[in-house]
Structure 1
Amino acid sequence: MHEMPIDPDVVALLDELGPPSPVRAADLSAEDLRQGMRDAIAIFTRGADPVAVHHVTDEQVPGGGGKIPVRVYRPRTPTAVVVYLHGGSWLAGGVDTHDLVTRRLCRDTGAVVVSVDYRMVPEHPFPAPFEDAYDAAVWAASLRPELPFLVAGDSAGGTLAACVALRARDEGGPRIDAQVLVYPGVDDDFATPSMLAFQDGPGMRLEDIAFVIRQYASHERALGSPYALPGRATSLAGLPPAVVVVAGHDMLRSAEEDYARRLLEAGVPAVVQLDPELVHGWIEFAPRVPAADRAFGRLVGAVNDLIGRAGDPGERRLVEESG
């Protein structure tokens, strides 16, 4: 688990946040945690160059729990449609905290990117965040049905993206051509090798990550549900091709690598992008950390490859037949 040290630029950036808080996440209010994320993002993106895209609109789309706010990024000539689900432990973050991420994804892939402001815990326990993610995906799939359609997200958003793909498989729609899972939470096993290796950080401690996962996935309606944590699914067969992005110094690493292995064993094309010198949350560091910027470039390359394969009728037919 310690093959390569953390990139020194990451260490320096995290040092700007100040010393780790002695207060447990369980003892903070939701608003405290949300403000903490906003403050961190402000540091991670300080001085970042603007990322221009052709057209950006804030919209509201229909959902079973009411209107869902989304931010839609449109390039001049779309190559695909990507639903993006932000990270933040299902309780923090939003389209604003991830604006640079989604802008870059739009610019560098040419995709229409739909960033979803799903409802969050604790005010809206499971399945509310998941239902918003799924309903937004159903809406987005109708925007340009002739183009490849992908679901993507980081951290808690990566979890949601994987679960949206599971439900779409189980219920026969919408058609999802690929899934992009950036260091997702996969299960609630807190005794994996990476959980133990990185239990004292950097970033979140084991007791804190256990708190947020249990708060989301141990709620009465979430217990045992694969739509809360995708690692609970008994079968991964028939899912769309995947890119699974793994940070080397991340408590979630072992579960993510196991999920990628299960996808491959189920016959699902899956690529693992391991960034051994990075930590959980690196996608937000890209404006200030060269190693994270390079990792983002590799991620974009993988997404472009998925788009290209999904747009090839022969490739799409092979995937559909394998499912």
Structure 2
Amino acid sequence: MSRPISIDPAAFAEDAVPEGTRDYNRKLMAQARMAPDTWSLGPAEVRARRTRGLSPFIVEPKSERAETIEIPGPRGPVPLRVIAPENPTAVYLQFHGGGWTLGTVDQDDPRLERLASELGFACVSVDYRLAPEHPYPAGPDDCEAAALWVVREAAARFGTERLLIGGESAGAHLTAVTLVRLRDRHGLTPFARANLTAGSYDMGLTPSARRFGNPALVLNTRDIRMFAANFLQNGEKLDDPDVSPLYADLKGLPPAIFTVGTNDALIDDTLFMAARWIAAGNEAELQVLPGSAHVFTSLPEPNARPAYDRVMAFLKG
């Protein structure tokens, strides 16, 4: 029987928020007031601004040992960014975030470097196709192809058959979709553990996503709707499990750690998905960080390091 998860009401108390987190949130909102409206610029310009550091996400150091390889994909080659130590202990397949529209394959290098250096993981990040140029199912198809490649090649290329998977935001969504696809389309459940951080699991929007409003705190209600519109362009049903994995049959999936901040518009997505994960008979851990905004583990705020430390401990097993 699965170990139960619990939600501590104290995490939602105003006095539980670290002062540094409170200060950082104010800084994020002040920066946003000075910046142009993201949705007036278009995806290409927003991507360029992010590359130049003109966003809440600082331009972090890139791994000096990363290499890029290409694998066959459903519509051409899929680039993979590989950060691997000698004699890896596991392979971690990573899907980056960015609302299926933004984000880059190297944006998580610092955290993947920690997994490689401290835990000995070979980290494989997927440069999947982005919307709106490549709407659903392009991104999920690329992620499925990458997962199948890892299943086939891990032992020969990396010398280990222990497989892990994860992502943040849209990357967490793609993780859940990929796990269900592997099980249902290929009869495979190869991943030992999953890391699901601040995921979006219901394209119809959970209550927190609908009610969050439009404060400029990394992600708001308007952003979620715009990202979903970029991703879904062909009348897909919002409760299709391949679109909204909250509605999927989740039986037989690996133990997972769910991470979210209380100031995240997608907090209900995590709370609901973690509960459904357990209800399906799977193992799960849940960590809810007081006051933290969306994908805070990628931001320089006080809750980020301890939260990611717990993720690393979970993945290590």
TM surpasses 0.5: yes
The 1:75/1:222 distance shift into structure 2, 3 A limit, reads farther
**Residue of 168, 184, 191 corresponding to 1:176:** 191
**Residue of 104, 110, 119 corresponding to 2:129:** 119
Distance 2:131 2:204 in 1: 21
Q: Which amino acid is 1:80 matched to?
A: A
Q: Which amino acid is 1:304 matched to?
A: K
The 1:191/1:267 distance shift into structure 2, 3 A limit, reads closer
> Which 10-residue stretch deviates more, 274-283 or 216-225?
216-225
SS of residue matched to 2:99: coil
- Give the equivalent residue in structure 2 for 1:245: 259
In structure 2, runs of 5+ residues without a counterpart are: 1-10
Q: Which amino acid is 1:71 matched to?
A: R
> Which 10-residue stretch deviates more, 194-203 or 276-285?
194-203
The 1:280/1:265 distance shift into structure 2, 3 A limit, reads same
Distance 1:156 1:248 in 2: 18
SS of residue matched to 2:292: strand
1:159 Cα deviation from its structure 2 partner: 0.5
Q: Verify: 1:185 aligned to 2:200, yes or no.
A: yes
- Give the equivalent residue in structure 2 for 1:316: none
- Give the equivalent residue in structure 1 for 2:75: 65
The 1:289/1:37 distance shift into structure 2, 3 A limit, reads same
**Residue of 220, 229, 240 corresponding to 2:244:** 229
Distance 1:131 1:164 in 2: 9
Map 1:40-119 → 2, pairs under 5 A:
40=53, 44-45=57-58, 55-119=65-129
Distance 2:54 2:280 in 1: 37
> Which 10-residue stretch deviates more, 77-86 or 146-155?
146-155
Distance 1:174 1:184 in 2: 21
> Which 10-residue stretch deviates more, 27-36 or 188-197?
188-197
Q: Does structure 1 conserve the Cα–Cα contact (< 8 Å) formed by 2:94 and 2:124?
A: yes
- Give the equivalent residue in structure 2 for 1:30: 43
1:295 Cα deviation from its structure 2 partner: 1.8
1:173 Cα deviation from its structure 2 partner: 2.2
The 1:191/1:152 distance shift into structure 2, 3 A limit, reads closer
Distance 1:147 1:13 in 2: 44
Give aligned-pair identity as a percent: 28
In structure 1, runs of 5+ residues without a counterpart are: 306-323
Q: Which amino acid is 2:113 matched to?
A: R
Distance 1:174 1:133 in 2: 15
**Residue of 173, 180, 184 corresponding to 1:159:** 173
Q: Does structure 2 conserve the Cα–Cα contact (< 8 Å) formed by 1:84 and 1:115?
A: yes
Q: Does structure 1 conserve the Cα–Cα contact (< 8 Å) formed by 2:189 and 2:252?
A: no
1:197 Cα deviation from its structure 2 partner: 4.2
Q: Which amino acid is 2:123 matched to?
A: V
Q: Does structure 2 conserve the Cα–Cα contact (< 8 Å) formed by 1:24 and 1:208?
A: no
Q: Which amino acid is 1:30 matched to?
A: P
1:147 Cα deviation from its structure 2 partner: 2.3
1:168 Cα deviation from its structure 2 partner: 1.0
Root-mean-square deviation over aligned CA pairs: 2.6
**Residue of 198, 207, 213 corresponding to 2:228:** 213
The 1:238/1:191 distance shift into structure 2, 3 A limit, reads closer
> Which 10-residue stretch deviates more, 271-280 or 95-104?
95-104
- TM-score, with structure 2 as normaliser: 0.84
Distance 2:188 2:75 in 1: 19
CA distances 1:201-259 after superposition (whole Å, capped 9, x unpaired): 422331221121233146335654322221121x2111111111112210110121011
Map 1:262-277 → 2, pairs under 5 A:
262-277=276-291
1:293 Cα deviation from its structure 2 partner: 1.9
The 1:99/1:186 distance shift into structure 2, 3 A limit, reads same
1:164 Cα deviation from its structure 2 partner: 0.3
- Give the equivalent residue in structure 1 for 2:8: none
CA distances 1:54-74 after superposition (whole Å, capped 9, x unpaired): x43111111111100111111
Map 1:305-316 → 2, pairs under 5 A:
305=317
Q: Does structure 2 conserve the Cα–Cα contact (< 8 Å) formed by 1:2 and 1:249?
A: no
Distance 2:42 2:207 in 1: 28
- TM-score, with structure 1 as normaliser: 0.83
Q: Which amino acid is 1:133 matched to?
A: C
> Which 10-residue stretch deviates more, 99-108 or 164-173?
99-108
- Give the equivalent residue in structure 1 for 2:150: 140
